[in-house]
Amino acid sequence: MPSALPIADPAPLDGLLPASVVDGADARNLGVYIHVPFCRVRCGYCDFNTYTSDELRGAKRDDYASQAVAEIHQAEHVLARAGLPARAVSTVFFGGGTPTLLPASDLARLLGTVVDAWGLEPGAEVTTEANPDSVDLDYLLALKAAGFTRVSFGMQSAVPRVLATLERTHDPERVPLVVAWAREAGLDVSLDLIYGTPGESLADWRASLDHAIAQQPDHISAYALIVEDGTKLARQIRRGEVAQPDDDLAADMYELADAVLADAGYGWYEVSNWARASAAAGSVEGAVSVESPESHQGDGAEHRSRHNLAYWQGHDWWGVGPGAHSHVGGVRWWNVKHPAAYADRIAAGQSPAAGRETLDDETRRVERVLLAVRIREGLAVNELTAEGRTAVAGLIADELVDARAAFAGRIQLTLKGRLLADAVVRRLLAD
């Protein structure tokens, strides 16, 4: 969740939604994202809406769970007032920041409030992010007892000097311990990696991949480092203290990740995400696969992050907490950023939303193309405009889009296409 919020229309203080959000609601899932905006230290590359203890300016971490509970109650009221059909929640995701800086009892209380408000679908996915040094076995056992199903550890790298450049505080040898504890607790495990850190070699990246795979997680995310304006890392690069990341090396790292993960039984299902023993695992690059992720249940696709898939597929979610974003039926809004401002809104019984926008048909179409192209199942060719369909032949010729899939009626990225996904989208959307 980037720290900068968009500029749009003011949000009503009561948070009520227009009647239009009901249209098509039966076909959309409901998810809940809970943002916990606290970190022990701020990593130099991070642009997320997070705060260390000396940045809270009067807000108290101990009060946060009660404030978030109050927003969940607001959400229950707003969704009911909008006339939306009763829908049990399909996914809950606690992100941050470091959610596990809160006591496990706070996370359990928040999840319990979600359950009381809407209930959970059978087999619902409930995830929390965690730093390897922020949990122990007892904490993970408490999460499992509360109803959590999954934990996503911010491993980032297995190379100490790379972690030092990123200003991550954990020892890489902590990762096998926390994964083992999560397994003992009965939780599915995801590991998050970052590649392209200044000074990181291809050999370093291979070591991190091997270390992650050795833990046999269910899911691996690998994100290219993005140097965000305003971060400490950006200032270090500008002053010449740290080298600028090398885009060509980052592309080599992505290709290496895809090959190594495929050999280990992980199949890509979104540009930056791989799941163990998924329907895609072991398949050849470019193979046509037009089924939905849900149709693969039982063959390993349950290890995909269903919460993140809901974002890419345009479902509904309510984002709780400072700076959290929400989307319901084509209406998008975002909360005030600072925990103190958030606390003031909640205490006043007001919506914490800072701004919102109602997406018009053209914006929704553009976002549909932008997001659907990133996932393995891709986008139906007939969802493109005539100009977009005309671009497909050139994308096939440039080996960015799989020819067999396109002739079968779907836009699916090749490995080269994944490296240039933004360029593919621009060509599909060109007038």
pLDDT digits (tens, 9 = 90+) for 64-101: 999 999 999 999 999 999 999 999 999 999 999 999 99
Which residues, at least 6 apart from 151, have a Cβ–Cβ distance to it below 8 Å? Answer: 127, 128, 129, 130, 135, 140, 143, 182, 187, 188, 189, 190
Is residue 288 very low, low, confident or very high in pLDDT (cuts 50, 70, 90)? very low
pLDDT digits (tens, 9 = 90+) for 264-274: 999 999 999 99
What is d(CA 152, CA 157) in angstroms, rounded to the nearest whole number? 14
| Residue 284 confidence (pLDDT) | 33
- Would you kindly state where each structural domain of the chain is located, as residue ranges? 19-359, 362-429
| Residue 406 confidence (pLDDT) | 98
Is residue 302 very low, low, confident or very high in pLDDT (cuts 50, 70, 90)? confident
Q: Hey, is 320 helix, strand or coil?
A: strand
Is residue 292 very low, low, confident or very high in pLDDT (cuts 50, 70, 90)? very low
Q: What angle do CA 7, 10, 12 make, to 5 degrees?
A: 150
CATH class of the structural domain 19-359: alpha beta
Between helix 137-146 and helix 104-118 the angle, nearest 10°, is 10
| Residue 44 confidence (pLDDT) | 84
- pLDDT beyond 60 at 117: yes
> Rounded mean pLDDT of 140-151?
98
- pLDDT beyond 70 at 424: yes
Is residue 232 very low, low, confident or very high in pLDDT (cuts 50, 70, 90)? confident
DSSP 12-25: PTT----GGGGTTG
Which residues, at least 6 apart from 38, have a Cβ–Cβ distance to it below 8 Å? Answer: 50, 51, 52, 53, 61, 64, 96, 97, 98, 101, 102
Tell me the fold of 362-429: Arc Repressor Mutant, subunit A (1.10.10)
Q: Do the domains spanning 19-359 and 362-429 agree at the CATH topology level?
A: no
pLDDT digits (tens, 9 = 90+) for 172-217: 999 999 999 999 999 999 999 999 999 999 999 999 999 999 999 9
Closest listed residue to residue 90, CA positions, set 404, 304, 350: 304
Least confident of 38-52, 55-69, 95-109: 38-52
